Amino acid sequence: MSERYPNLFSPVKIGSVTLKNRVILAAMGGTNLVNYEGNYNPKIRDYYLARAKGNVGLFIPGVTFVTTGGWLYQKEDQFLGPIKDLMDEIHAYGSKLFFQLGAGFGRAAHLPRGDMAKQENRAGLVSASDGMPNVWDPEIKHRAMTVDEIRAYVDAYGKCALMCKRAGIDGIEIHAIHEGYTLDQFAVAATNHRTDEYGGSLENRFRFVTEIIREIKRTCGADYPVMVRYSVASKMRGFNAGALPGEAYEEFGRSMEESPAAARLLVAAGADALDADNGSYDSWWWAHPPVYMPQHCNFPEVAYIKQFVDVPVFCAGRMEDPAFAEKVLAAGEIDGITVGRQFLADPEWLNKARDGREADIRPCIACHNGCFPVGGIPKPGHGGYPEAHCALNPVTLEEKNWVLTPAQTKKRIAVVGGGVGGMECARLLTMRGHSVTLFEKTGALGGAFIAAAAPDFKEKDKMLLDWYRHQLAQLHVHVRLHTAADADAVKDYDEVIVATGAVPRKLKLPGLDDPRVVEAIEYLTGKKEVGQSVVIIGGGLTGVEIAYDLARKGKKPAIVEMLPDILQVPGLCAANSNMLREIIRYYSIPVYTETALAGTSDEGGFCVRVKGKDASEERLLPADSCILSVGYVPSHALAEDLTAAGFDTEKIHVIGDAKAVGNLMSVIHEAYEISYRL
């Protein structure tokens, strides 16, 4: 037990099973023990064992549907073979594992457009009721699951659970009244219009899941633990419409008024614990909170529901702050925390917290770039689930491919550019035994990420910068600030890594030399102030985040975007983009799409001149300021200078945005590749 966090590291019982601490590693897509064909994923072993060494109390693998590979219970060879062997290894570390079983996506199924929408394929598109709109393509309607199908699912849950028990798995988590999946669609009145015994009253709407709980207990014994994944409130304003934190709204899904009775029904049926948060696919940012969601965003609702049940209640949703967890555990407000993506970023974060090394914890910045790209949902027929990688930690789910070893030949290496890519290179190369000098032309390490981390909702981004600076200091990396390295400065080094990043793209339009026109990076770093009304040119991620930042400060932003829609960013997770769209709706931020900047004007005061698809039609947008957020171009002049000076081109390595503008994930992964290779 930790002296710093005695409650966090104290044991807790779920039914007959005792966990060594109060920390669950959450189920996440991409951490599934079996794929869509029902086959064991051997790569998952190293991922889990690395986190078992990291002191996880209870593992919950990503959801596996009872219909996986036909009926999952027909895959005994997978469970009684490699999965059973993995259980023995996990148990050797004192950890436990509950297998998460689901009844399908229902209307949240991520379907290819076209073929799957055809009538002949509709038989597989089920929900609680006829006519339910698909989340991703509302034109696709789902049919009601039949009573015979329901009973087959209940039977399958019992058989799958018994197979899990025989494989040494410690318990079952039912992916049930959670996130708008099939069982949740039965539980919510807005999506359950049935008139049989599975519709109508609260008890009837919960009949499907309570029959599953009772069937598992009947099949496996009353002492075999069953935990239920539970969304306390749906946070829905309607189909494909979610509520924001603090917003006044009328609940379309499960309300806080109904939730206590719902939770009691689950416990009365035999549930031994609740693994709780909020949200649905219509309000995805509650169940998968991006950076725009506050820390421990689901805690108030989860703490509330604990008052109505007598079983352990765990809270999920940005709960990785050990100090906060300790405080609420000590107060008895919850019984434990469920943490997912922080374990992707740093498998040892729990041990570091226990040992008082919080500054060494690489923070999850809730970006979703690696763990939950785009929709984050696998498509049937593509060989299984996508793997849950991490933007900050390429080792995640590549544990055997990224083993850090000492360099065979120790070299003197110059890293030019103290942004995230340069700092990552300096860190890894030093750990491998090279002698590294990091050159940074400004007075602070961080590069363009300093600007990216500037908004007050980017507290974890700021923590990441602190983490890098702390790691370099601990490693005694030679850092030269206020030094713009040139060819002469690096001529005596064995290798030169050019990590000089990118610079804002320059537009050649009339009026952009006006002092009221500001580059995005100038605004974010506080180098230039803006007025009350601000037109933002560029509706990409940075432009929309700036609009949010301005709105939070009480200003009046407007967004101008050349494309037919905003947020057309490759790999952007739907949880992030959908929440940003709701933010635009909530703050009534005007958005002008298919509209280009034409310049500025002083007609009637400072105005931004824009034009639509018909270039001859211009309009004026009155403003106090204009922020340019039109992207970046690589800055790699040093590499050209080195080549011109006769430096061996094989020893010049351009990485990150200096080579091609990407994102944090691409920059860090490139830093790993070059640092492991040299």
CA distance from start to end of the chain: 41
Rounded distance between C-alpha atoms, residue 377 and residue 372, angstroms: 8
C-alpha pair distances (Å), 307 with each of 22, 213, 263, 267, 334:
18, 22, 10, 13, 9
C-alpha pair distances (Å), 295 with each of 316, 459, 491:
11, 9, 47
Rounded distance between C-alpha atoms, residue 510 and residue 426, angstroms: 43
The tokens of 68 are what?
Answer: 């996986």
Encode 504-542: b = buried (16+ Cβ within 10 Å), e = exposed: beeeebebeeeebbbbbbbbbeeebebeebbbbbbbbbb
Show Cβ contacts of residue 492 under 8 Å, excluding neighbours closer than 6 positions.
412
Q: Which of 373, 379, 421 is nearest to 667 (CA)?
A: 421
Alpha helices for 529-611 (secondary structure H): 541-552, 574-586
Secondary structure class of 566 (helix, strand, coil): coil
Rounded distance between C-alpha atoms, residue 226 and residue 49, angstroms: 24
Active site residue 230: no
The tokens of 112 are what?
Answer: 């290819």
Show Cβ contacts of residue 650 under 8 Å, excluding neighbours closer than 6 positions.
none
Are 365 and 392 in contact by the 8 Å Cβ rule? The answer is: yes
Angle at 400 between CA 397 and CA 401, to 5 degrees: 85
The tokens of 247 are what?
Answer: 């917003």
SS3 for 458-502 is CHHHHHHHHHHHHHHHHCCCEEECCCCCCHHHHCCCCEEEECCCE
Dihedral class, residue 503 (left if φ above 0, else alpha if ψ from -120 to 50, else beta): beta
181, 198, 281, 292: the active-site residue: 181
Q: Which of 264, 152, 254, 281 is nearest to 210 (CA)?
A: 264
Rounded distance between C-alpha atoms, residue 597 and residue 560, angstroms: 8
Q: Which of 42, 65, 39, 61 is nearest to 51 (CA)?
A: 61
C-alpha pair distances (Å), 98 with each of 232, 278, 421, 676:
21, 21, 38, 36
The tokens of 635 are what?
Answer: 């800055």
Q: What are phi and psi of 327, to 5 degrees?
A: -65, -50
Q: What are the DSSP E strand ranges found in 15-94? A: 17-19, 23-25, 58-59, 64-65
Strands 618-622 and 607-611: antiparallel
Taking the CA of residue 414 as centre, how many other CA atoms within 13 Å lie in the half-sphere pointing to its CB?
25
Are 107 and 127 in contact by the 8 Å Cβ rule? The answer is: yes
Are 665 and 370 in contact by the 8 Å Cβ rule? The answer is: yes
Are 253 and 234 in contact by the 8 Å Cβ rule? The answer is: yes
Task: Please give the positions annotated as active site.
Answer: 181
